[in-house]
Amino acid sequence: MAEAADKKQAKTSEDASELSGRAKAAILTIILDPAASGLLMQGLTEEELEILTAEMRNHKKVSTEQKIDVFLEFEQLMMGREFYAEGGLEYAKKLLEKTLGPKKAAEIINKIQTPKKIQPFEAARQADPLVVASLIQNEHPQTIALILAYLQPANAALILQSMPQETQVRIAKRLALMERTSPEIISEVERYLKDRLTASAQEHTDSPGGIDSLINILNAVERPTEKNIIETMEVQEPGLAEEIKKRIFVFEDVILIDDRGIQNIFKHIDLKDLALALKGVNDDVQDKFFRNMSERAREMLKEDMTYMGPVRIADVDKAQQRIVGVIKNLDSKGEIIISRPGEEDFVE
């Protein structure tokens, strides 16, 4: 059994190590929070965005092991000397403060400056405690006690609770009476458990990548980045671009909302935002809002738009994004209906 686990571990490591840099970048973008991925994509050139987007499309299934390997490699790179060489610690600090705020930035910088102490059973510490419990439930209580001694108390508690009551007592006694354990035994048990975790991970893969992941990220990026990606895809991957446009909502798509929905939207948005958002859009979009307003409200909105004079495109985009955010929220709650192409019609 141990030999088979070793072979699986070797194969997994080989597969992870054979990933190209582009593949690793795509997987990292997929596993990060959409807002963080959006910030990452905004810093890329048009050519880099095309490459990254195409690579994300190719990774519809990413194994748990690959996610862990890519993230750990990214963490090591960020904490290595190469990271400082790009701009120094001060540059890194400023970048983190701008992105995450002073408090979170200080926490990360402190971690980087503090030598990282490698703890035994790191793989088990990062794993789901219930998965660990299922893998060690038939081991000797002394072995289980040794593993629990190195885990976070909350995780160790979950594992202990999952054991039969009689076994719980035996494990607890051995934990209480445990003395110094030789490093060789710790390493042997750790290696065995890591092999079992790796083998278990290979049996369970999920699908965080693909078009769903891209849609989540595009919903988080700024409008110019989103527009650039979609327009480029329309030339290079027309079919994929059409699928994305069906599933992503932009301000001009308000024409797909019924009149009752538009009237509901008015209750949740700032009319100053609407005046700014309607600057520069086509007549169909403007008319969609105008015809759902009273004559007096419509004239006041038109006056506001006129008195604004020339406005920055960036300000218009931000106002549109705020309104789109409200629309998406109402749509998710089922409070408005968006008649997307290809979807079923509704009847009263």
For 307-346, the pLDDT digits (tens) are: 888 889 888 988 988 998 899 888 878 898 887 554 444 4
What is the per-residue pLDDT across 11-54, written as a single tens digit (0 to 9) for each? 444 355 577 888 888 888 887 777 777 777 777 787 787 787 77
What is the per-residue pLDDT across 92-108, written as a single tens digit (0 to 9) for each? 666 567 666 788 777 77
pTM strictly above 0.75: no
- E-strand ranges in 93-249 read 205-206
The mean pLDDT value for 135-146 works out to: 91
Q: State yes or no: pLDDT of 231 exceeds 50.
A: yes
Triad 276, 282, 286: Cα angle to 5°: 60
Q: 122-205 and 251-348: same fold? A: yes
* Residue 221 token pair: 């990026």
Amino acid letter at 110?
N
* Residue 327 token pair: 């629309």
Please indicate whether residue 28 or residue 169 has the higher confidence score (pLDDT): 169
285 and 339 Cβ atoms separated by less than 8 Å? no
> Tell me, which fold does domain 251-348 have in CATH?
Annexin V; domain 1 (1.10.220)
The mean pLDDT value for 148-175 works out to: 90
Q: Structural domain boundaries of the chain?
A: 2-113, 122-205, 251-348
How sure is the predictor about 4, in pLDDT bands with cuts at 50, 70 and 90?
very low
What integer pLDDT is reported at residue 112 of this predicted model? 65
What is the per-residue pLDDT across 284-311, written as a single tens digit (0 to 9) for each? 999 999 999 999 999 999 999 998 888 8
DSSP assignment letter at 115: P
Amino acid letter at 275?
A
Please indicate whether residue 62 or residue 161 has the higher confidence score (pLDDT): 161
Range of weakest confidence among 5-9, 94-98, 202-206:
5-9
What integer pLDDT is reported at residue 100 of this predicted model? 66
Amino acid letter at 258?
D
What is the per-residue pLDDT across 141-161, written as a single tens digit (0 to 9) for each? 999 999 999 999 999 999 998
Rounded Cα gap, residues 244 and 234, in angstroms: 10
> Tell me, which fold does domain 122-205 have in CATH?
Annexin V; domain 1 (1.10.220)
